[in-house]
Amino acid sequence: MKKVTLKELQSICGSLAFCTKALPAGRAFSCRLYSTMGKVSKPFHFIRVTSGMKNDLLMWKLFLEQFNGNSYINDIGWISNFDLELYTDSAGGLGKGCAAYLNGKWTFLEWPNEWNSSEIFKDITYLEIIPIALAIFLWFDQFYKKNILFHIDNLAVVNILNKKSSKSERVMSILRLIVYCSLIGNFQFKAVHILSKDNAIADALSRANFQKFRRLAPLANDHPHPIPVEFWNLLKTK
C-alpha cells in the first residue's frame, strides 16, 4: 500500500487511540500517523504512506499479535537504574563501541568496521540510544513490571526517551525496539540527565578500557554477555 485516504487513516488512528488508553507507551507508534493527517483536509484526499509510518504500523501488528489483553499493575514507585546497578554508554570511533552493565553482568559491542566510512559515527544520539536497547534486549526479565528511571549522560537521548519519539528514522529504529519491549514486558520508563563523570563504569567499557573497568567494578563477571545475532542484524541494516 503506497497511499491511503484521510478517512481511512483517521479510522486506523481512532482504533489505535483506543488501544493507547490502556497502553500509553503505544503512542510512540502513532505520532507519525497523526502528524501526516494534518497535511490534507478532505476525507477523500490521499496520503502517501512513508516507510516510517509502515514501520510504526508493523510494531503495532507485532505487539497486538502477542498481546493477551491483560495489562498488569506495575510495581509501586520509580526504580533508578542506579538501584539496579544498570549503566549504559557509548563512545564514537573505530575500536570503540557501546556498553551495558547490570549488577555484575556486562556486555561490550564494538562498532562494525563498515561504520568507519559512513555518517553513523557523527550521529551521537543514535550511538547513545543503542546500549539502552541492548541492555533491555539482553536482560529483559529484570525490567518486567517495573517503572525504570534511566540516568543518561546525553540530553538528546533523555528527551527522546521521555517523548518516545524522534525525527530521525535511524534513531526511531532503536526506539521502536525499546518501546515494543516495554509493552511486551509491561514496564514503563523515563529518563533524567546526569554528568559523564557519574557514569564511569559504562564509559570505561564503551572505550574498551577494560583495565579501568575492572578497577571500577572488581566483582563484575569474568566474561561479557554475548551479543545476539538478532541485535547485530538490527544494526547492520542501518
Summary mean pLDDT of the chain: 87
- How far, in Å, CA of 9 to CA of 32, rounded? 11
Runs of H (alpha helix) within 164-220: 169-184, 200-206, 210-216
Confidence band (pLDDT; 50, 70, 90) for 55?
confident
Q: Could you report how far apart the first and last alpha carbons of the chain are, in Å?
A: 23
Per DSSP, what are the bridge partners of residue 87? 101
Instruction: Assess contact for 59 and 184: CB atoms under 8 A.
Output: no
Question: pLDDT (tens digit, 9 = 90+) per residue, 212-224?
Answer: 999 999 999 999 9
Q: Which three cell numbers stand for residue 125?
A: 544520539
Residue 106 CB neighbours (<10 A): 22
- The pLDDT confidence band at residue 73, using thresholds 50, 70 and 90, is low
- Stretch among 20-24, 66-70, 177-181, 226-230 having the lowest mean pLDDT: 66-70
- Positions of E strands within 71-195: 79-80, 86-90, 97-102, 105-110, 147-152, 188-193
Name residues whose C-beta falls within 8 Å of residue 76's C-beta, 6 or more positions apart in sequence.
Answer: none
Distance CA 166, CA 172 (A): 6
Average pLDDT score over residue span 17-39: 75
- Cα separation, 46 vs 57, in Å, equals 18
> Domains (ranges, CATH) in the chain?
3-66 (3.30.70), 79-236 (3.30.420.10)
Res 69 pLDDT > 70: no
**Structure confidence at residue 237 as a pLDDT band (50, 70, 90):** low
Rounded to 5°, the CA angle 53-54-56 comes to: 65
Residue-level pLDDT at 76: 66
Of 78 and 62, the one with more pLDDT: 78
- Burial pattern 157-178, b for ≥16 Cβ within 10 A else e, equals bbebbeebbbebeebbbbbbbb
Are 90 and 97 spatial neighbours (Cβ–Cβ below 8 Å)? yes
Residue 8 has pLDDT above 80, yes or no: yes
Name the burial class of residue 155, with classes exposed (0-12), middle (13-18) and buried (19+) by CB atoms within 10 angstroms of its CB: exposed
Cell readout for 229 is 545475532
